Amino acid sequence: MDEGIDQKDIAEADLRTRRGVFRAVAFRDPVDGHEHMALVRGEVRGRDDVLVRMHSECMTGDIFGATRCECGDQLGAALDAIAREGAGALVYLRGHEGRGIGLVAKVRTHILQDDQGLDTVDSATAIGLPVDVRDYGPAARILRHLGVRSVRLMSNNPVKVSALETYGVAVAARVPLLVPVSADNVRYLTAKRDRLGHDLPQLDAPAGALGEAPCREARR
């Protein structure tokens, strides 16, 4: 098992939001050195099958509401799902911008996507960068600190399941977190499905068929 988080590198406080009160658990990861945040609702310690989202930082989508990606919509949908359930955790992972290549590089890939028609994969490799260098160790470490026994992971990416399991976190189920297809995000979603292996059935569904239910439980 890898190194745990030192208590001096963790701070907790209530955070009042439009979705109600969460427990904000800020922590500095001992491996990557970034300061991350877990938003926890209800009691998760010692529980199995806790609803969990590992959310990679995306300034353009999460803060500014960019429609090129589905990140901001997924962030909101995950928090809504945790609030409805009354218990769960969202781990917000810093240093994951652009699947780990950073904000400046990500914006450079946007130029290539707009001007040359490259997708999210080829635009990264065209500037000599890897497609995905994210590490989910910080999420596993904070989940262990929180005492979570196993998770139902909100994600469309099967790689996240295997990544968590590599760090010793049991994943009981993957919960799809599907965002409606639009003219702005269809190229991005298609590349994630065809090039990165994400499970995105809404790309094949009739427009509007998914309605208001972005989360669907999928047993492994």
Q: Is residue 71 a known part of a binding site? A: yes
What is the rounded CA–CA span in Å between residue 52 and residue 165? 14
Q: Is residue 56 a known part of a binding site? A: yes
- Residue 134 is a catalytic residue: yes
Q: Is residue 69 a known part of a binding site? A: yes
Beta-ladder partners of 24? 13, 39
Q: CA Rg, the chain, in Å? A: 17
Q: Is residue 215 a known part of a binding site? A: no
Query: Cβ distance 103 to 97 under 8 Å?
Result: yes
Q: Per DSSP, which regions of the chain are E strands?
A: 10-17, 20-28, 35-41, 50-56, 88-93, 150-154, 170-175, 218-219
Of 122, 132, 135, 199, which one is the catalytic site residue? 132
- Residue 6 is a catalytic residue: no
Q: Is residue 55 a known part of a binding site? A: yes
Q: Is residue 100 a known part of a binding site? A: no
Q: Is residue 123 a known part of a binding site? A: no
Of 41, 108, 134, 174, which one is the catalytic site residue? 134
Amino acid, single-letter form, for residue 16: R
Q: Which residues are catalytic?
A: 132, 134
Task: Please report, in range form, the residues annotated as the binding site for GTP.
Answer: 53-57, 74, 97-99, 120, 155, 160
Task: Please report, in range form, the residues annotated as the binding site.
Answer: 53-58, 69, 71, 74, 97-99, 120, 155, 160
